[in-house]
Amino acid sequence: MKRRSLLLGTIATYAAGMPTADAQQPSTYEEAARLVWRPLDPARGALELVRAATLAANSHNTQPWRFTLAANRITIRPDLHRRCPAVDPDDHHLFASLGCAAENLVQAAAMLGLNASVDVDTVDPGSVVIALDRTAASNHELAEAITQRQCTRAKYDGTALSSEELRAVENAGSLCGVECLIVTERSRMEAILDYVIQGNTAQMRDPAFMAELISWIRFNDAAAIERLDGLAARSSGNPALPAWLARHLLRFVFTEKGEQDKYAEHVRSSAGIAIFVAPHSDKAGWVAAGRAYQRFALQATTLGIRNACLNQPVEVPFLRLQIAAYLELGDRRPDLIVRFGRGAKLPPSLRRPVSAVIDAA
């Protein structure tokens, strides 16, 4: 009965339209970021579990999820209006994003005295069902890292990690049968970099990919605050510009050579690269890969380690086969490729409020 009271009470609060912190209207990017990434508040119950889930990593920051709350479960469904067919035609990244959200929810649930178990419904279009049961409350360090984690798309400081740190992130990323391959040898990192550059070049020469990418770029603070999604210029380390000017200048500053140089600098300044490989390539496997990556990222955050995705080789089909062969994966698919290391934090990306992503039960 207590479990039902906890969850239903917070759902009733939401349904009644009572004001929450999500209702605030930020006027600056800094204010919006502080609101989005404020510390978790266990007193808000199930709504805070949903907010924790929305802070997960996701492709292009499309936030492709909808949440349904019930007495003892939360269901995460794909928002197909936010899919990216050019870069992600089979919805692999979309379901990996749902897995990232699910793992954040699992870690946050412990703060409410709830144990969360995850099941993937693979029936079209698929969903992730998280059952909640009462347990002892705890302040797990991974839950506390949820509001500090970010994908840091910048140069790192080049320092190596200790064997203990490498073991910690590898163990965190080995979840649900997912293998987390850690690469720190410079020759192998250079080989992976070559696949990244080939993938980036192929994508930049694809008009459909470029149109889709540009549609998710928020070129200035006003656009980022208005939409609360997408790739904000300042979270990628780029200057904020009026949209009309940025679109005009894009072809001059967003060049193949410039991107090749950027990725070379990013990889060579990293401590290593992690590759996440699920045991099978289907929706359940993709969700598992997302969960494993998210847990890896949370563990890295507790250690002051940054990370960012290098997924071009897994997004371009012919390169995906080549890098799978290079990594000796057999018939398994490389799901996600991530560089990691120490470096400065960038301004965080934004998220839509909880009220925008919850559906009626």
Q: Tens digits of per-residue pLDDT, 57-105?
A: 999 999 999 999 998 999 999 999 999 999 999 999 999 999 999 999 9
Contact between 272 and 189 under an 8 Å Cβ cutoff? The reply is yes
How far, CA to CA in Å, does 293 sit from each of 24, 52, 173?
31, 16, 6
Q: Given a cut of 50, is residue 50 above it in pLDDT?
A: yes
Task: Supply the pLDDT for residue 152.
Answer: 97
Q: How confident is the model at residue 14 (pLDDT cuts 50, 70, 90)?
A: very low
Mean pLDDT within 194-216: 97
Task: Supply the pLDDT for residue 169.
Answer: 98
Q: How confident is the model at residue 200 (pLDDT cuts 50, 70, 90)?
A: very high
Mean pLDDT within 182-192: 98
Mean pLDDT within 275-290: 98
Task: Supply the pLDDT for residue 13.
Answer: 44
C-alpha torsion 239→153→223→85, nearest 10: 130
Percent with pLDDT over 90 in the chain:
83
Q: Given a cut of 60, is residue 216 above it in pLDDT?
A: yes
Question: How far is the C-alpha of 264 from the C-alpha of 194, rounded, in Å?
Answer: 9
Q: Given a cut of 70, is residue 17 above it in pLDDT?
A: no
For 90-128, b/e burial (b = at least 16 CB within 10 A) is ebbbbbbbbbbbbbbbbbbbbbbbbebebebeeeeebbb
Helix H or strand E segment including 226 = helix 221-227
Q: How confident is the model at residue 243 (pLDDT cuts 50, 70, 90)?
A: confident
Q: Given a cut of 90, is residue 130 above it in pLDDT?
A: yes
Q: Given a cut of 80, is residue 119 above it in pLDDT?
A: yes
What mean pLDDT is reported for the chain?
92
How far, CA to CA in Å, does 106 sit from each of 146, 254, 275?
11, 38, 22
Task: Supply the pLDDT for residue 23.
Answer: 53
| Rg of the chain, C-alpha, whole Å | 20
pTM here is 0.93
Task: Supply the pLDDT for residue 111.
Answer: 87
Report residue 241 as tokens: 């510009």
Mean pLDDT within 302-320: 98
Comparing C-alpha atoms, which of 229, 210, 189 is closest to residue 337?
Answer: 189
Q: Given a cut of 50, is residue 287 above it in pLDDT?
A: yes
Q: Given a cut of 70, is residue 5 above it in pLDDT?
A: no
Q: Given a cut of 70, is residue 190 above it in pLDDT?
A: yes
Which amino acid is it at 14?
Answer: Y
Q: Given a cut of 70, is residue 123 above it in pLDDT?
A: yes
Helices marked H in 37-181: 46-54, 92-109, 141-144, 163-172
Q: Is 42 exposed, middle or buried (0-12, 13-18, 19+ CB in 10 A)?
A: middle
